[in-house]
Structure 1
Amino acid sequence: MLTDQLKDDIRVAYTALMDSKQLTPRWGQRQMIAEIANALGRIPAPGEAPSTEPAVCVIEAGTGTGKTIAYAVSAIPMAQARGKRLVVATATIALQEQFINKDLPDIRHHSGLAFSFALAKGRRRYVCLSKLDRQLIEGQGETGMLALYPDEMASPASADAMPVYSAMIDALGRGQWDGDRDNWPDTIAEEVWWGVTTDHAQCTGRRCPNISQCSFFKAREQLQNADIIVTNHDLALSDLALGGGAILPDPDDCIYVFDEGHHLPDKALSHFASFCRLHTTMSWLQDCKKAFAQAAPVLAPLDNLERLLNALPADVDEMVLGLQGAEQQVAQLFEDVDPEASREDPQVRFDHGVVPEELRQLSVSLAERFDRFVGVLGRIEKVLEDALEDDFSGMDQSELETWHINLGGMLGRAEGVLALWRAFAEGSQPSQPPVARWVTMVTSGGQYAFDLRCSPVLASDILSDNLWSRASGVVITSATITALNSFERFILHSGAPREGRYKQVMSPFDYGNAVFSVPAMDCDPGDAQAHTEAIIDMLPQLLDLNEGSLVLFSSRRQMLDVHAGVTGLLGDRILMQGDYSKQEILRRHREEIDGGFGSVIFGLASFAEGVDLPGDYCRHVVIAKIPFAVPDSPLEAALAEWMEAQGKNPFMEISVPDAALRLVQAAGRLLRTETDTGRVTLLDRRVRTRRYGQAILDSLPPFRRELG
């Protein structure tokens, strides 16, 4: 329970922070602190009986609440009092670096709280010294190592890569670089970095001769005694997917805070989805077959390995034959599809996730073959691991390490392919909650290839099994979690326990300083061509070319058509997504505004969230239409299908809440500080004419309204 002493500790820390920084306490911030403290008070103290209620707190805190201070000054004392570690996961690496380099030192300095903290990143963010050594010693890319995805990731030209690798080893030797990709002074091309980094499957761990200098393990050691571990959603979920405790502490010993937590369900789905591209998987298996022939004589001195390696090519031939059969069956699904007729890659989604019986039977066979393949690779890897620890194995340690990396990489990829075929083999009847299974025809190297994918459509079971039931405590916070002023959407998608504490905390901003406008129009987005033409006619009158504006589209096609239609009138004031990187567009936009000129950004969904353009940088947000999800998204379609089967209305229960949430996020680009003013214009009269429109309007912040 939450004791009076803990309440006092939190209150003293918050008051000290406010006084020291000369800040005015905010009511919403204090509400948030109280909610988090009361929720985490359900974590039993040593010797205390477990609570019957989960220590879970889900808080929607409007922009400007000061979420970081609120969850820090409440969760840090609670974690310390309960003997737990605090894991703070942000949505991006940039946010986590801001938290660890600015926010936490500031809070520690001003609050009087004493705590230590460390940053956690995955292996792929760090250089692998073993791989770097091989690149430099053997040169020209002839390292003896096999690329994990040679069919999908091109090898860099030696002239491009070797100078970078030489600079890396020199900076490491001088102590001028810690091996963290994010701390390298220049941009590193993906294919160059890929050659000198590793993943869990390829890492030899404590058996590596470079373990004492390993950048990843040095960083990991700093986590051992830190009170607070700062990471991102992906690493936190990866650790949970591996069972917990692989990189981060055991979930039972952790209190998690997920900032920007509305991303959590979608992030969880991506970690538990499976994928196989048929053509490139066959190419990769042929590369493996060549590697086994090279490895067999080299590893012959090790017990039984030569026999295992010599038997693998026959297994590979069986798998390739099975994949060819799958490719023929899948191609038949697209017989009547003209891939040139659409801008999007053609897809076939299996209704209710049920795979056609002939393909399912072939999937059963492929799952069995890949299961055997994974088993043999696992036995080989174990022999190599034992040999690496045996100084009398009679093998060259460097060669052993090279083949351990190669076989580990093969094993990791084979396990991913196995997961897909197992999922397709199970697709004989609908499941609850549903699993989406689909095939996409893509263009690869001038040829058509097929991607097979499988994913749960809800993360509820995933997060229930891996997070809610295992963590000591969980705090979810974001400016946008509710939809239509309800947490039901988040509970549906995340499986968050209903017995947790849920709270909406209003933004301190004065929304009376801004207008939400829906101008009169003769058409709506149901007639796409007429709607686009109407936007082209209206936009030059709506926009003030002397100020900063953001125009948000739900469709790339409509954005391109409107851009073509207004270019003559708006001239070079438009910066359109796709012409430059997102960061470059924002940089150019700010530069124009700072120079006293106007600037207009045309963007899609990625500009409707997480973009911070305070003050003059954004005085007008124009939203082309209510941002309903793309209707042919396999996940959205599978979820809607499941809802219909339950006698529910998927449009009202899924599409409308989702669109309302996205509209709130888009409108949230306008007011970023307490002094901001401006206008949000929605060019979609359906918010006035359809029965769901009023519910969407009621979910928006309390702007002044001008409804035509």
Structure 2
Amino acid sequence: MPSLDDLLTAAVSGVGGSTRPGQVEMAQAVEHAARAEEHLLVQAGTGTGKSLAYLVPAVAHAQRTGRPVVVATATLALQSQIVDRDMPRVADALEPLLRRRPTYGLVKGRRNYLCAHKLEGGFPDEDEGLFEVGEADAAAGRIGQEVLRLREWADETESGDRDELVPGVSERAWRQVSVSADECFGSRCPLVEECFVERSRTAAKEVDVVVTNHSFMAIDAFEPRAMLPEHDLLVVDEAHELVDRVTSTITDELTVAQVRAAGTRAGRMVETTDGLEDAAATLEAVLTDAPEGRLRSGLPDSLALALERLRDVARGMLTELKPEKGAETDGSRQVATAAVTELFDVAARILEQRELDVVWVSQDPRRGAVLRVAPMSVAMLVRDRVFGAPAAGEGSDDSTPRDRTVVLTSATLELGGTFDAVAGTLGLRGDGSPSWTGLDVGSPFDYPSQAIAYVAQHLPAPGRDGLAPQTLDEIEALVRAAGGRALGLFSSRRAAQQAAEEMRERLGDDHPVLCQGDDQIGTLVRQFAREPGTVLFGTLTLWQGVDVPGSSCQLVLIDRIPFPRPDDPLASARTEAIKAMGGNGFMAVSATHAALRLAQGAGRLVRRSDDRGVVAFLDSRMMTARYAGFLQRSLPPFWPTTDRDLVLGALARLDETAPDPLPVGDPARRGLTGAVEPVASTGSDGAEHPRPVAGSPPAGKGARTAVTGGEGWSEQDDEELRDGVALGLDVPALAEQLDRPDEAVAARLTGLGLRP
């Protein structure tokens, strides 16, 4: 078999570049970890080429062992990049050396596929009267037409994969032809041999690299029945997001509407649902008067009684729903059983008041009060189930350990100069933790000579009443000196909009100011990248997703240290728990959260080896606070200063000598033949920049421009909404995740048919 160096050289040459020291070091470390069966945390800065640095040794490992390697990412954009761009090129480059073409596949949740049994009428209609065969005509409206189109497509598709349906359909229509994991019959299904999901997972057992997402990987680790093929090497990219994704996966919620919907599903198969309706009414009365926020002193008696009533009624109803001995469970009974089981499980979990669980109430403008429960920390769960997961394959149980090596990688794993903070959240510290190695392969960029980190120490500390006049003056001075070319990252939508409105008045036509919400993110970023005098302001999406190399972005503004909200239920619970154990809760939770976000935000500036510019922190606490050193050590090693005149002069010189902006392509589109039109450009560092923002529609999904509720939405935004709904997130949680107003998210959900 060819050496790893030969394979990596061939793969990198296949994408038009050359290997870099950090890339080679990372690839060798991944290969060593796999052979030594030792977990690895590897920080790889922007421009390293880390996807090839783990994909090549992954292919080599699969070739050597005959077992697939699983790659889990946080975002749809990176999954698409790997499947549509990276792996095809790796396969082309390595085929002559390996004398076989490396194979790969994408594994998704059950809801992403057609259900053959449901298509045959094996399940009840989601909407009464909508899914009668042959009757989905114009009289049934838009949803009915979509269902008719889905039935026609079902006769043609070989994969049943929703992403291959172009154009797509609403979530409401898709529910007519798909089922959730809980509703699925599994091996008992009469059409299991024709099941698209089972076929896709069977095929995944035969490939070298299986690509999935963090949430699906977590479900595979936590559920008794394995959904991913048996493997002994797991690579987690975007690993800084893993804890949040795992937390979302195992967060449960309960609403009054959910209780009543379960009663409707079960109504035809039980003697009466009056008990469930009474339980819903009792719960509604309690939650209506409940204040928002965390239940700090345990469950109030009224809520505990309401949940006990719901649990007991659900238990009795589950007994009624059991089919008679020897009878087969039909689709209607399966769906009803899944809905009632969820009520029982959530009510029982909240009543159990587990030591680590946090319970809180939030108000959804459309769904009313939502009762949620989530673990305060997932560190031990991740330690036990991800780093020491159960054996894969049918019939596995919790008692059989799987010897699996885990490689976690990201551009931001070292916070405060060490891996300790991130390792602690993953359960890799303390007694009984598995052994692991941390490696920082650096970046090919010369940060001290390419960028300045400027702290505006003379500004007042940020307050709660919006941006101070002095801060607005500072923004204007910096933007004018830079000749536009500025990306403003703000900790709240209100601050971004305030700055945008003020700068539009002050800058006039000299420098157009774009603000998140004016249009879909991808459109805004492409305009920003193409027009170097333009300014773009935004919030969380821009902090983590923008990739605008070249002269269009020579100034990144960060308005304040991005601490979590003081009323965040999980953050506050974690802080208090660590403090009670004698630790520093602020540093372990709030400062760590802020350090990660700052590192992500500051990383927007230098994307290529010839990029130059300034990251300006408009929060004097970056110099004066006791935790300032920790935050500073979490940033790329830019040249630091507090000298305002020096920075203004540097920005002006950069503006005067700035080259033309780099060409910016439109989003990649997949034609009906499945061919992808790439829009990637290769920088002088050999690193590719396939699209200007992660919020752009990923390759293979096409572009859709929609403005709903005053907000611009891309296809990826819509996919993230669907994913969030599938995870049970309500409107406020989705709004926070996407950093958009609640009312805009609610309007878009309605437009997509995700809310009735």
Above 0.5 in TM-score? yes
Alignment CA distance shift 1:364-1:9 (3 Å):
farther
Aligned with residue 377 of structure 2, among 439, 458, 482? 458
Cα gap change, 1:675 to 1:363, in 2 (>3 Å): same
Of 340, 350, 360 in structure 1, the residue corresponding to residue 295 of structure 2 is 350
Report the Cα distance in structure 2 between the residues aligned to 1:356 and 1:174, rounded to whole angstroms.
55
Change (3 A) 1:211 1:157: farther
1:86-145 superposed Cα distances (whole Å, 9 cap, x missing partner): 111122233222212221122232232443222211221223345456599999961579
- Letter in structure 2 aligned against 1:99: I
2:437 is aligned with 1:518: no
> Hey, what does 1:199 align to over in structure 2?
180
3-state DSSP of counterpart to 2:614: strand
Aligned counterpart, 1:626: 561
Q: Select which of 9, 12, 30 maps to 2:3.
A: 9
| Structure 1 counterpart of 2:106 | 119
* Larger displacement relative to structure 2 (551-560 or 133-142): 133-142
Separation of aligned partners in 2, 1:608 and 1:407: 46
Q: Which of the residues 421, 445, 449 maps onto 2:347?
A: 421
Query: What percent of counterpart residues are identical?
Result: 29
Q: In 1, are the aligned partners of 2:516 and 2:524 still within 8 Å (CA)?
A: no
CA RMSD of aligned residues (A): 3.0
| One of 483, 493, 499 as aligned partner of 2:425 | 493
Superposed CA deviations along residues 350-379 of structure 1, whole A, max 9, x for unmatched, are 227x223453354344333323434543x2
CA distance in 1, matches of 2:351, 2:202: 42
AA aligned to 1:117 is Y
Once the 2 structures are TM-superposed, how far is the Cα of residue 672 of structure 1 from its aligned partner? 1.4
Q: Which amino acid counterpart does residue 283 of structure 1 have in structure 2?
A: R
Shift of 1:652: 2.2
Alpha-carbon distance change, 285 to 707 in structure 1, aligned in 2, over 3 angstroms? same
- What SS does structure 2 have at the residue aligned with 1:626? coil
Identify if the C-alpha distance between structure 1 residues 249 and 601 changes in structure 2 by more than 3 Å, giving closer, same or farther: same
Q: CA deviation digits over 1:180-218, x for unaligned, max 9?
A: 221222242222223322212223445656555543333
* Alpha carbons of structure 1 residues 137 and 375: separation in structure 2 relative to 1, 3 Å: closer
In structure 1, distance between residues paired with 2:116 and 2:382: 35
Establish whether residue 642 from structure 1 lines up as the match of residue 577 from structure 2.
yes
State the AA in 2 paired with 1:462. Answer: L
Give the Cα separation in 2 of the matches to 1:21 and 1:191. 41
- Which one has a larger percent helix, Structure 1 or Structure 2? 1
Amino acid at match of 1:414: V
Q: 1:577 aligns with which of 504, 509, 516?
A: 516
Match of 1:563 in 2: 500
SS of the residue corresponding to residue 100 of structure 1 reads helix
Structure 2 SS opposite 1:705: strand
* 1:71 aligns to 2:54 (yes or no): yes
Structure 1 position 281 matched with structure 2 position 255? no
Q: 1:108-257 counterparts in 2 under 5 A?
A: 108-111=91-94, 112-113=97-98, 114=100, 115-132=102-119, 142-143=129-130, 158-174=140-156, 178-205=159-186, 211=192, 213-245=194-226, 247-250=227-230, 253-257=231-235
Identify the range of structure 1 (32-41 vs 508-517) with the bigger mean alpha-carbon deviation: 32-41
Code of the aligned partner of 1:487: F
| Residue 664 (structure 1) aligns with | 599
Q: SS at 1:681's partner residue?
A: strand
Distance 1:420 1:209 in 2: 30
Report how far residue 593 of structure 1 moved.
4.1
Counterpart Cα distance in 1 of 2:384 and 2:124: 46
- Residue 126 of structure 1 aligns with an amino acid whose one-letter code is Y
1:360 is aligned with what amino acid? Answer: A
Q: CA deviation at 1:609?
A: 0.7
SS at match of 2:233: strand
Per-residue Cα deviation, 1:210-238 (whole angstroms, up to 9, x for no partner)? 55554333323321322221112222222
What secondary structure sits across from 2:494 in the alignment? helix
1:379-418 correspondence runs (5 A): 379-380=322-323, 387=327, 404-418=330-344
Q: CA deviation at 1:424?
A: 2.0
1:676 paired with 2:611, answer yes
In structure 2, distance between residues paired with 1:102 and 1:34? 23
Q: 1:659 Cα deviation (Å)?
A: 0.8
User: Partner of 2:268 in structure 1?
Assistant: 291
Rg comparison, structure with higher value: 1
Cα distance 1:576–1:135, how it changes in 2: closer, same or farther (>3 A)? farther
C-alpha separation between the residues in 2 aligned to 1:20 and 1:319? Answer: 61
1:474 is paired with a residue of what secondary structure? strand
Partner of 1:505: 441
Q: State the AA in 1 paired with 2:150.
A: M
Cα pair 2:106 2:211 within 8 Å, conserved: yes
Comparing 133-142 and 365-374, the one that deviates more: 133-142
**CA, structure 1 residues 131+546, in 2 after alignment: closer, same or farther (shift >3 Å)?**
farther
Structure 1: distance between partners of 2:121 and 2:408: 44
Say which is worse superposed, 516-525 or 18-27, in terms of deviation. 18-27
Give the Cα separation in 2 of the matches to 1:690 and 1:33: 39
Structure 1 residues 413 and 649, CA gap change in structure 2 (3 angstroms): same
CA distance in 1, matches of 2:128, 2:451: 58
Alpha carbons 2:262, 2:339 under 8 Å: kept: no
Alpha carbons 1:136, 1:165 under 8 Å: kept = no
Equivalence for 1:393: none
Matched with 1:258 is 236
1:327 to 267, 284, 290: 284
Q: 1:415: Cα distance to partner?
A: 2.8
The count of residues paired between Structure 1 and Structure 2 equals: 613
SS of the residue corresponding to residue 360 of structure 2 reads: strand
Q: Distance in 1 between matches of 2:289 and 2:331?
A: 38
SS at structure 1 position matched to 2:640: strand
Q: Distance in 2 between matches of 1:592 and 1:21?
A: 27
Contact 2:123–2:331 under 8 Å retained in 1: no
Does the CA-based 8 Å contact 1:268-1:462 persist in structure 2? no
1:11-68 Cα deviation digits (max 9, x unpaired) = 332244356666433221122123222222234xxxxxxxxxxx31111111111111
- Partner amino acid, structure 2, of 1:258: V
SS state at 1:248 partner: coil
String of CA shifts for 1:394-435, please: whole Å, max 9, x gaps: xxxxxx8xxx333222222333322321222122xx72xx32
Distance 1:636 1:323, change over 3 A: same
Q: Which letter does structure 2 place at the counterpart of 1:196?
A: V
Contact 1:349–1:439 (Cα < 8 Å) also in 2: yes
Distance 1:267 1:650, change over 3 A: same
TM superposition shift of 1:332 = 4.2
- Alpha-carbon distance in 1 for matches of 2:351, 2:219: 25
Which moves more between the two structures, 57-66 or 10-19? 10-19
Q: Give the TM-score of the pair, scaled to structure 1.
A: 0.80
Give the corresponding residue for 1:366.
310
CA distance in 1, matches of 2:141, 2:303: 46
Name structure 1 gaps, 5 residues minimum. Answer: 1-5, 44-54, 146-155, 293-308, 335-346, 389-399
1:615 partner SS: coil
2:395 is matched with none
Seen in structure 2, the aligned counterparts of structure 1 residues 260 and 376 have a Cα distance that, compared at 3 Å, is farther
In 2, distance between residues paired with 1:375 and 1:510? 67
Task: Measure how far apart 1:570 and its partner are.
Answer: 4.1
1:617 CA drift (Å): 4.0
Deviation at 1:637, TM superposition (A): 0.7
Q: Which segments of 5 or more consecutive residues in structure 2 lack a partner in the other structure?
A: 133-137, 390-401, 644-756
